[in-house]
Amino acid sequence: MSTAAPRPSPASASPSTEIRGAGGELHQRCGGSHPALTTNQGTPVADDQNSLRPSPRGPGLLEDFILREKITHFDHERIPERIVHARGSGAHGTFTLTKSLAKYTRAAVLTEVGKTTPVFARFSTVAGGAGSDVRGFAMKFYTTQGNWDLVGNNMPVFFIQDAIKFPDLIHAVKMEPDRGFPQAASAHDTFWDFISLTPESMHTIMWAMSDRALPRSLHDIEGFGVHTFRLVDTEGASTFVKFHWRPKRGVHSTLWDEAVKRAGADPDSQRRALFESIQAGDYPEWDLAVQLFTEAQAEGFAFDPLDATKLVPEELVPLEVIGHMVLDRWPDNFFAETEQVAFCPANVVPGIDFSNDPLLQGRLPSYLDTQLLRLGGPNFHQIPINAPKCPFANHQRDGHMQMQVPKGRVAYEPSSLDRGGPREAAEGFASAAVPADDGVKGRVRPERFADHYSQARLFYRSQTTYEQAHIAAALVFELSKVETPHVRAAIVGHLRNIDEDLATRVAGGLGLESLPDAPRPAAPVVDYPPSPALRTIGNGKPTLHGRRIGVLVAEGSDGDTLDAVRQAVESAGGRIVVVAPKLGGVTLADGARRTADGQLAGTPSVAFDAIALVLSSDGARSLTREAAAVDFVRDAFGHLKAIGFDAGAQPLLTAAGVPIGPGVVSVGDLPAFLASAMTRQWDREKQVRTLP
């Protein structure tokens, strides 16, 4: 219902349904008192159940304006989806500045300490569905000086250096054009073919094959502005800046097998988790940190900070936290807000400016262009989710879907006829005073862009041994889907330039008889000191906040144990989900009934961070004949999760082949169970799978 003032309803006041036979028509109607349903022109509708016919069994009539309006609107409900980042989840929140950058910029959002700026965030998958993929991390700040969009990803680097390669990259990663699949995952032969011929992608490939591409939830990801931007002070002098979003609880990922199973069991798991944590008041939070460096400092780096395939190691330029963001409101309407939100890296405010990063430069015109198509015309900035929350005025006019009614005869500037009309403002946006290079025009890249392997090596060698094994396993998984042998071999050749051991592991996992030749690097590969900040294991905070523990119960389970587990988990900040063979619940040992939150077959353990088995021996024995129950336990073990159990649960542990050992602990020792539930049991991994 979109009208402002509801009208009194002609419908009956009774809330029940009634059978009416007015005018020979017989059907069931709902009673109750409601505002009148109208057409989009405001005409009240007396019958929304039947289309107009010349006789009860006659054809439809073209004059039925009510039917035609309703169906035509329906037919136009979908708008073109985003060519990349089509699937996304959004949320409202606020950004609060804690440290002023007044020395570097005149942007109010970065200088007024304590100031709270409304924001809208949208997280997305670039190409595929909820499984393994780079995630988009797009932020719109509704500042007092206009909207500032920081449209980044959950990885600090990108596949390509120059925007001219973006359509090729995306065509290669999306479904193959002749067969139309894979639809919800990245393509194999085409993607790896392109990558094998694009060595600059190697660093991002390391990130994309790491656990970062398998986030546990959207609030467990880091965000990065990726490009180097500029902060500009009142004199026009500028400083380079890189933006980082750090989740308050650290970065957490799933295992590959877990992500694959979770995508099947609950393709909405990531959106649902964000929704549920906001609804529960357990708001996701991030710190905003910056890396600041001068152009002179940048000259001394071994790489060029204008190259988006490179990061600036934290050991070189430390991160400074300047504020935090909390997401505390789910959108009222998915389409109106999350779907219609239009982010654009060119949306900056006075005091923030672009660098000459050739990837960023190519993005600047692209977003407005795509939005003109996607949102149907030049007035999409008037859609509530896109409109600035500060005053805005200019002389742009007309166009599709103009919602404003400008007054007066003046639609130009300057004018003496309209003395109150908008004019340029001294405090308005001014580009950074950057002297132009004295190079020669041409299609060239700076020399320092040529090193494609050193930072890939830095990333790989900075990981823990578990994470290195995951990268190798992910490469084996992906390349095993590539049907073209020379493409597989070419990738392994590149890996040799990154790390010989990684190449050997992947070659072994693929069953290659010998190591392919490595291509000759365009620039020498250098060894950076390892950067522990690039790991995820060890960088997450051990906490139960935001964690879900699945407790499996069956007939005869002990109610006191169940209550004790619930109490301990909830007081540590976690949430219990009771899973039973039937949603109606179970009869506990003391004869009381307990309902379940999830039915076993539809609630596998991939939905949880840890599980507890609170079972009578009879209950556990009956569950040994349920494949879903055995999988519940076996998968939790295979996914390195803590498993709590009471004495009765032993038959199910045995059926699942789960030995008692680290992370498989009695719920009699709740502190030990909670401690193991806060982390994964990494040392268990060699017990459960052969990694390359």
User: Interface residues with ligand HDE (CB under 6 A)?
Assistant: 82-85, 88, 122, 124, 136, 138, 151-153, 158, 163, 166, 226, 308, 342-343, 359, 362-363, 366-367, 370-371
- Residue 638's DSSP bridge partners are none
Helix (H, G, I), strand (E, B) or coil at 357: coil
- Residue in this structure with the two tokens 């007054």, named with its chain if needed: 407
CA 148/CA 354 separation, integer angstroms: 12
Q: By C-beta, is 151 or 487 nearer to ligand HDE?
A: 151
DSSP string, 303-314: S-TT-TT----T
C-beta of residue 107 within 8 angstroms of C-beta of residue 143: yes
Cβ atoms of residues 498 and 476 within 8 Å: no
Minimum CB separation of residue 309 from ligand HDE in Å reads: 10
Pick from 328, 282, 370: which is nearest to 90 by CA? 328
Q: Are 147 and 347 in contact (CB under 8 A)?
A: yes
Cis peptide before 54 (omega within 30 of 0): no
Is 227 a residue of the active site? no
In this complex, which beta carbon is closest to ligand HDE, that of residue 88 or of residue 648? 88
Which amino acid would we find at residue 581? P
In the complex, the smallest distance separating the C-beta of residue 382 from ligand HDE, rounded to whole angstroms, is: 17
Asked if residue 247 lies in contact with residue 219, where contact means CB atoms within 8 angstroms, the answer is yes
Question: Minimal distance in Å, beta carbon 543 to ligand HDE?
Answer: 27
Tokens of residue 486, six digits: 């020379």
What is the SS3 assignment for 67?
Answer: helix
Compare residues 216 and 363 and give the one whose CB is closer to ligand HDE. 363
Pick the closest to residue 255 from 148, 76, 132, 136 (CA basis): 132
Residue number, 96 or 366, with CB nearest to ligand HDE: 366
State which residue, 205 or 342, has the beta carbon closest to ligand HDE: 342
CB of 450 to ligand HDE, least distance (A): 20
Beta-ladder partners of 610: 549, 642
Cis previous bond, 542, omega within 30: no
Which residue is catalytic, options 27, 40, 76, 85? Answer: 85
For ligand HDE, the closer of residues 366 and 504 by Cβ is 366
| DSSP class of 530 | P
In this complex, which beta carbon is closest to ligand HDE, that of residue 142 or of residue 367? 367
Q: Which is nearer to ligand HDE, 367 or 460 (CB)?
A: 367
Minimum distance, C-beta of residue 632 to ligand HDE, in the bound complex (Å) = 35
Q: What span, in angstroms and rounded, lies between the C-alpha atoms of 235 and 260?
A: 53
Distance from C-alpha of 323 to C-alpha of 290, rounded to nearest angstrom: 10
Distance of alpha carbon 596 from its chain centroid, rounded?
Answer: 30
Catalytic residue among 50, 92, 147, 153: 153
CA atoms within 13 A on the CB side of 442: 6
Residue 122 has phi, psi (to 5 degrees) of -135, 125
Burial tier of 599 (Cβ tally within 10 Å: 0-12, 13-18, 19+): middle
Residue whose CB is less far from ligand HDE, 169 or 611: 169
CA 497 to chain centre: 31
Q: Are 670 and 649 in contact (CB under 8 A)?
A: no
- The DSSP bridge pattern shows strands 229-232 and 238-247 to be antiparallel
Strand, coil or helix: 526: coil
Is residue 486 flagged as an active site residue?
no
Rounded CA separation 83/357 (Å): 22
**Environment class of 386 (CB within 10 Å of its CB; exposed 0-12, middle 13-18, buried 19+):** buried
Q: In DSSP terms, which residues pair with 292 in a beta bridge?
A: 241
In angstroms, the first-to-last Cα distance of the chain is 58
CA distance 230 to 450: 23
Assess contact for 605 and 640: CB atoms under 8 A.
no
How many CB atoms are closer than 10 A to CB 163? 18
**Min CB(415)–ligand HDE separation in Å:** 35
The CA distance from 131 to 260, in Å, is 6
The nearer residue to ligand HDE, 456 or 620, going by C-beta atoms, is 456
- In 3D space, the residue among 98, 130, 91 whose CA is nearest the CA of residue 113 turns out to be 98
Nearer to ligand HDE, 148 or 608 (CB): 148
Closest residue by beta carbon to ligand HDE: 136
Enumerate residues 6+ apart whose C-beta is below 8 A from 501.
none
C-beta of residue 541 within 8 angstroms of C-beta of residue 603: no
Q: Of the two residues 173 and 469, which places its CB atom closer to ligand HDE in the complex?
A: 173
Question: Nearer to ligand HDE by C-beta: 359 or 489?
Answer: 359
Q: Give the Cα separation of 80 and 373 in Å (integer).
A: 8
Task: Provide, rounded to whole angstroms, the least separation between the CB of residue 135 and ligand HDE.
Answer: 8
Give least dist CB 146 to ligand HDE, A: 18
Cβ 89 to ligand HDE, closest distance in Å?
9
Structure tokens at 17: 């349904």
Catalytic (active-site) positions = 85, 153
